[in-house]
Amino acid sequence: MKFSILRDRLVESVQDVSKAITSRTTIPILTGIKIVASEDGITFTGSDSDISIESFVPKEEDGDEIAAIQETGGIVLQARFFGELVKKLPMDIVEIEVVNQFQTMIRSGKSEFNLIGLDPEEYPHLPQITEDKVIRIPADILKNLIRQTVFAVSTAETRPILTGVNWSIQNNRLNCIATDSHRLAQRTAEIETAADAEYNIVIPGKSLNELNKILPDTNELVEIVITDNQVLFKAKHLLFFSRLLEGNYPDTSRLIPTDAKTELIVNAKEFLQAIDRASLLAKEGQNANVVKLSSLANIPGAIEITSNSPEIGKVVDRVQCKSIEGEALKISFSSKYMIDALKVLEGMEISIRFTGAMRPFVIRPVNDETILQLILPVRTY
């Protein structure tokens, strides 16, 4: 194997595939990046066996030469060292050559690295996925879908299925749901696919977080292929494979209340800042992160957010709502869950619908039916 490549493209590909690599693996070769030079270009692969990422650098793009392949072949190089060193190479062009068995020279200007590589034949094969029904969605919408749901997955391993995000596809509509059983995030979107395509899968939250980091922030279409135990995301020169979680995702539809006793409409950012301040004094003790929200009988349209820590003090914050309708309100909840939910709605006017101090409440943007956030309150009154 022998090729030269533009350093910036090499750095980008190495950083992308490194997202899949962990040093805590039981398969030593997976701490490496597999590099394969073919006639058409160079393929980089990283994997932790749950997630696999493949990045391709073509010889030419838009008429510009990006890489030149002198000899095809492959090698596996330690991700940790290789990743650090490519960033520090002095010149714009890098030459990589397997010189002697698995010894690999990396040259750039007057710098010459000689790394001990591993046999690429030993590297596990990526899942074979046959493309049946392809789903298409713009990358920026996909990133939003992920961002607006993935934070709500469970981090506890007691119910592994809840560490993933449930994607169900029906009638050209994708519905994403994440819940840790204390709060729930839901987002739907139109997708391009065969009309009869129906799927119900659970994608690990970790996979979606990594995917979100490497997808471009453009409206370029991403293709999604789903099999029994794998999902494949295909963007330009990029393949992202993730294993799916096994098991049945709980039916969450009946958790979401349809009626409301109190509804308030408020600016998400102002509300977020008030909750953030109130949570400052709610950091420790039994009611860690719990804040209280009450409507104020004497000031129309105002709500009060309070928290209290016997040893430190208390905070009282007031927010003016656009409107409050229905019964008087008094409810306590986790400021962390509220802050997480409000962050993905920032800049929007939101409606919060309550059905009682011990019933879950629903947060939605006023003019957008595709997003829903649900939070279970905490008993303190």
Bridge partner residues of 199 (DSSP): 169
Tokens found for residue 154: 């469970």
Q: Which is nearer to a second copy, 252 or 294 (CB)?
A: 294
C-beta closer to a second copy: residue 81 or 381: 81
Handedness of CA 58, 64, 67, 70 (dihedral sign): positive
CB of 52 to a second copy, least distance (A): 24
- What is d(CA 42, CA 38) in angstroms, rounded to the nearest whole number? 6
Check if the beta carbon of residue 112 is closer than 8 Å to that of residue 96: no
Residue in 8, 60, 84, 92 binding a second copy, rule: CB under 8 A: 84
Q: How far is the CB of 377 from a second copy (least distance, A)?
A: 23
The Cβ-side half-sphere exposure at 191, using a 13 Å CA radius, reads 32
Residue 280 burial (CB < 10 Å; 0-12/13-18/19+)? middle
Q: Which is nearer to a second copy, 118 or 224 (CB)?
A: 118
The least distance separating a second copy from the CB of residue 152, rounded to whole angstroms, comes to 24
Q: Which stretch binds a second copy (CB under 8 A): 53-61, 130-138, 164-172, 270-278?
A: 270-278
Q: Which is nearer to a second copy, 111 or 170 (CB)?
A: 111
| Count of residues that interact with a second copy, criterion CB under 8 A | 32
Query: Quick check: helix, strand or coil at residue 164?
Result: strand
129: contact with a second copy by CB under 8 A? no
88 binds a second copy (CB under 8 A): yes
Nearer to a second copy, 256 or 316 (CB): 316
Contacts of a second copy in 314-343 (CB under 8 A) = 314-320
Residue with tokens 């939101």: 350
What is the CB neighbour count within 10 angstroms for residue 58?
Answer: 13
CB atoms within 10 A of CB 41: 20
* Of 39-47, 76-84, 128-136, 372-380: span binding a second copy (CB under 8 A): 76-84
181: left (phi over 0), alpha (psi -120 to 50) or beta: left
Give the phi and the psi of residue 198 in degrees, each rounded to 5: -135, 130
Q: Tell me whether residue 97 or residue 210 sits nearer to a second copy (CB atom).
A: 97
**Near a second copy in 105-124, by CB under 8 A:** 110-116
- C-beta closer to a second copy: residue 11 or 141: 11
Phi and psi at residue 41, to the nearest 5°: 165, -165
190: contact with a second copy by CB under 8 A: no
293 is a contact residue toward a second copy (CB under 8 A) = no
CB of 203 to a second copy, least distance (A): 35
Contacts 24+ apart (CB under 8 A), 316-319: 317/274, 317/277, 317/278, 318/274, 319/266, 319/270, 319/271, 319/274
Identity of the residue, 314 or 322, whose beta carbon is nearer to a second copy in the bound complex: 314
Residue 128: CB partners within 8 Å, gap ≥ 6?
Answer: none
Region binding a second copy by CB under 8 A among candidate stretches 81-89, 155-163, 171-179, 250-258: 81-89
Among 277, 330, 336, 343, binds a second copy (CB under 8 A): 277
Q: Decide: is 281 part of the binding site for a second copy (CB under 8 A).
A: yes
Residues lying near a second copy in the complex (CB under 8 A) are found at 78, 81, 84-85, 88-90, 103-104, 110-116, 273-274, 276-277, 280-281, 311-320
